[in-house]
Amino acid sequence: MGGKKRLSRRVRRYIGAVIAAGVTSFVAMNTYYKASAQTCGLQDAMEWQLALHDTQVEQSPEHVSAVTEAFLKTCPERPEFFDASRIAGIAAADLGDIQTAAAHFKNAGPIADRLSNFYAVSAFIANGDSKAAWRQRDRYIEAWRLRLERHPYVSVQAQPAEDGMIYQLTFSELDKDTGIQAAWVAVPFGPGWPATLTFSKDPMRLAFRRARTGRDAPEMRYVDLHRCFKRRSLGQITTKLTRAEFDAAAQASLQAYLASPDKAAGKSRAQIEICYSPARLLPGVPKQSD
């Protein structure tokens, strides 16, 4: 690979989503910014966006960082500055440039999406700024909770424990990818990553099971513990088990986790360590089948 790193598929999807959402809103803003005294205009923003979609160039962290850093220096007053800072922060993190990544995330303003928040927390930890890291986590957890509470397919209950909060989530519609029916999310009061127990009808595992044993194989529900740097299957359930019956065991397991939560993967602090599966740690609004 010649020492080069590629942006992961999830990061490319994130960049595409930011730019797709930005094009229409920024065009509307252009009238105002043309009236202001600045040398950078919509054309500069469009050139930056096109550079991130250029199929003739490998969209490596090096490329994304170079074109985005150039845009940030030229256009510090453009409305795209905050989204560009987030993208530059992710690219710098993938390149292992801790200080640059942390600086970009501090310049990014309020961060709404899950992936960027996990990157930001990891960058702040690696940069030795624990206070900024867990403050970022707390802001995102609150926004995540409010977003779920407003959704008609999700029920949220918050249960305080000795060392943190446990959020009990029930989904009236299953996510088409994960099949999660219920989740218990533990968030430490102090430093530490969330951990989540999920109760799901995982469609992928069901498909594999039926491929091995036949199409008449009964559905199973799976119990998994998701932590920042590991995932463990706790069992398969074939009998009817209600959420109330499972709740006590979930609460006890997560209270034990909150007493000693994950803070790093055990490597050198001076390294940006991204959680394996943010979408499993903090389940979102269920995605429906087409």
**What does the pLDDT look like over 135-181, one tens digit per residue?**
999 999 999 999 999 999 999 999 999 999 999 999 988 776 677 88
Question: Apex CA 244: angle with CA 239 and CA 248, to 5°?
Answer: 100
- Taking Cα atoms as reference points, which of 285, 196, 181 lies closest to residue 242? 181
Can you read off the two tokens belonging to residue 190? 């102090």
Instruction: Produce one character per residue of 132-164: b if its CB has 16 or more CB atoms within 10 Å, e if not.
Output: bbbebbeebbeebbeebeeeeebebeeeebebb
Q: Which amino acid is at 211?
A: A
Q: Indicate whether 285 pLDDT > 70.
A: yes
Rg over alpha carbons for the chain, rounded to the nearest Å, is 21
Question: Alpha helix locations (H) across the chain?
Answer: 9-35, 42-51, 61-74, 81-94, 98-107, 114-126, 130-149, 203-213, 243-259, 278-281
**What pLDDT score was predicted for residue 99?**
96
Q: Among 24-28, 117-121, 136-140, 281-285, where is mean pLDDT lowest?
A: 24-28
Find where tokens 């509307």 sit. Answer: 28
